[in-house]
Structure 1
Amino acid sequence: MRVTQGMLANNSLRQISSSYGRMGNLQDQLSTGKKINRPSDDPVVAMKGMQYRTNLTEVEQYKRNLSEAYQWMENSEGGIEHATQVMQRARELLLQAKNGTNSAEDAKAIGVEIEQLKKDLQGVANTQVAGRYIFNGTKTDSAPVDASGTFNPAAADYKISVSKGVELEVNVNALEAFGGKIGGAGNNLFQTLQGIVDDINTNGKMTKGDQLLSNLDEHFDKLNAERAKLGARYNRLELIDDRIGQQEVTANRILSDNEDADIERVITDLKMQESVHRAALSVSSRIIQPTLMDFLR
């Protein structure tokens, strides 16, 4: 086969164009820090990257869910802590009201304060976080204690997905914390407090003090039991948070290993390619140089 000048020129231009392409790829890697900039650069890396990014997105969503769970639990803990202090004060007042030496004015003042404590506890039961009632189960858009003072909370637990296949109950069971069958009847905490007020106001000297004190202590025990359950779930939440944090680090590392370019190697390859390209240009200039005018001269 006869090799013509045109064949040499075309082949030289094709090789120079390929050299430009390789330099362009290396420059893209250097500027973006990524091995590939489009799926066609390496379909295998692109496919694995999609899987790794999906995993990382899931982990990031779980971290956002964990933040919401912390918000619910910490606000619930704060509400129970306040309710505990209120109930301790109510118990002190009840013991004081049982004292037969109280005057009518003293008994009335005790009744007024317990009434205010009851309203304060109703406010605790109606605690809202970001516009949602945290003590009303899944019915977060409605208050467990209505305007008339009726306590009717939802029994369903509010759960948040904190890990793959794991849903954690983040609310306090209001029926257990503030309600329940106490003293053989369906008296909730607010009814018990109202019963103390009524006994004081009706008799001046309490006639049901022992029973009401027993009922109040049962409510106190139930509230503490719910607080203990919440504390146990909070400890589990912290363990899950730690594990999700480790998963996030691992997912980021795997994604980086798959997609991130080795900058030192890219710089070295780019310098080598530039040297090769300059040599190719030098040689091509000599191959393409002769023209018809050169022969006519």
Structure 2
Amino acid sequence: MRVTQSMLSNNMLRNLSNSYNKMGKVQNQIETGKKVTRPSDDPVVAMKGIGYRTALDKVEQFQRNIGEVNNWLDSSDDAFDKVGSALQRANELAVKAANGTTTVDDQEKIKSELDQLRQHIQNIANTKVGDKYIFSGTKTTTAPFDTSANPPAYVELNDAAGNPINQGFIKDVEIEVFDGINLKVNTNAIDVFKNIDQMFQDIKDGTVEFSEAIGKIDKQMNDILTTRADIGARQNRVELMDDRLQSQEVIATKQMSENEDVDMEKAITEMITQESIHRAALSVGARIIQPSLVDFLR
């Protein structure tokens, strides 16, 4: 087979082009820190990268959900803390009124303060997180204590015949915090608030004496503590889920890094090697392209 000058020149140019492409690829890896910049560079790495990124995005979304769960639970716990403080003050007033030394006028003043405490708890029942009522079950746009009613009252869960109505007020609001794991974020406390409100009404009407009211207030305070214990238990679980999500985030990030990030030392070494090969190719090419007759005729 006869090898011509044009064949040598074409082969040299093709090899130089390939050498440039290899150097460009390694240079791009060093500049971006990634093994691939397009799926065609390595389809397997690209497909795995999509999977790892999807997993990481899901973890980040669950972490945002955890923040929303904490917002609901913290607000609920704070609300019941304020209710407990109000009941504690009501207990002090009841004890004071029941000791037999207070006058009728003093008892009326105490009833007036108890009425203010009652209104304070009614306001707490309408606590909102953002634009959602947290004690209204799934009916988050409707306040559990209807101030527009005449007279203002809590929403009824049963009609006059005892048939269930407004059952959305006692349904659970759940937020997904992991694949297939939903946590209840609301507290079904409308009955608790209604019982407290009825107790204050009985004291106001005089159907319950102050001495008897002390025991009733104490019972309502125990109910509040039970409710707060349930909230606390869920807060502890949220912390466990948050720790799990943080671990999953580290794992997903590590897997994605191992899959996509370039080994910088290896890439730099390869770049130096490619540069040496390219320089050698240029040197050999200069020797291959010999002067032609045209060069002598200039």
Task: Calculate the TM-score normalised by the size of structure 2.
Answer: 0.90
8 Å CA contact 1:73, 1:171 repeated in 2: yes
Q: How does 1:58-207 map to 2 (within 5 A)?
A: 58-147=58-147, 148=149, 149-152=152-155, 154-179=169-194, 188-199=195-206
Listed one character per residue, the Cα deviations across residues 68-97 of structure 1 (whole Å, up to 9, x for unaligned) are 111111111111111101011112212223
Q: Percent identity?
A: 48
Mapped to 1, the partners of 2:263 and 2:243 lie a distance apart of 30
8 Å CA contact 2:94, 2:211 repeated in 1: no
Mapped to 1, the partners of 2:293 and 2:108 lie a distance apart of 122
* 1:255 matched to 2:256: yes
Mapped to 2, the partners of 1:291 and 1:233 lie a distance apart of 88
Show structure 2 runs of 5+ residues with no match. 158-168
Match of 1:290 in 2: 291
Query: What secondary structure does 2:154 align onto?
Result: coil
Listed one character per residue, the Cα deviations across residues 133-182 of structure 1 (whole Å, up to 9, x for unaligned) are 11222222121111143112810111111111111111222135424xxx
Q: CA RMSD in A?
A: 1.7
Q: Mean alpha-carbon deviation: is it higher for 217-226 or for 58-67?
A: 217-226
How far has the Cα of 1:296 moved from its partner?
Answer: 4.8
Match of 2:42 in 1: 42
How far has the Cα of 1:217 moved from its partner?
Answer: 2.7
Q: Mean alpha-carbon deviation: is it higher for 67-76 or for 97-106?
A: 97-106
Show structure 1 runs of 5+ residues with no match. 180-187, 200-205
How far has the Cα of 1:131 moved from its partner?
Answer: 1.9
8 Å CA contact 1:176, 1:223 repeated in 2: no
How far has the Cα of 1:210 moved from its partner?
Answer: 4.9
8 Å CA contact 2:122, 2:193 repeated in 1: no
Mapped to 2, the partners of 1:105 and 1:292 lie a distance apart of 129
Mapped to 2, the partners of 1:277 and 1:198 lie a distance apart of 99
Mapped to 1, the partners of 2:229 and 2:132 lie a distance apart of 23
Query: What secondary structure does 1:115 align onto?
Result: helix
Listed one character per residue, the Cα deviations across residues 234-284 of structure 1 (whole Å, up to 9, x for unaligned) are 111111111110010000000000000011111111111111111111111
Match of 2:162 in 1: none
Mapped to 1, the partners of 2:23 and 2:191 lie a distance apart of 70
Listed one character per residue, the Cα deviations across residues 90-122 of structure 1 (whole Å, up to 9, x for unaligned) are 122122233443222211110110010011111
Query: What secondary structure does 1:25 align onto?
Result: helix
8 Å CA contact 2:45, 2:260 repeated in 1: yes
Mapped to 2, the partners of 1:273 and 1:135 lie a distance apart of 68
Mapped to 1, the partners of 2:115 and 2:208 lie a distance apart of 18
Query: What secondary structure does 1:197 align onto?
Result: helix
How far has the Cα of 1:214 moved from its partner?
Answer: 3.6
Match of 2:161 in 1: none
Runs of 4+ in 1 over 4 A off after TM superposition: none
Match of 1:230 in 2: 231
8 Å CA contact 1:173, 1:226 repeated in 2: no
Match of 1:185 in 2: none
Name the aligned partner's letter for residue 90 of structure 1: A
Name the aligned partner's letter for residue 236 of structure 2: N
8 Å CA contact 2:29, 2:267 repeated in 1: yes
Match of 1:4 in 2: 4
Q: Mean alpha-carbon deviation: is it higher for 188-197 or for 109-118?
A: 188-197
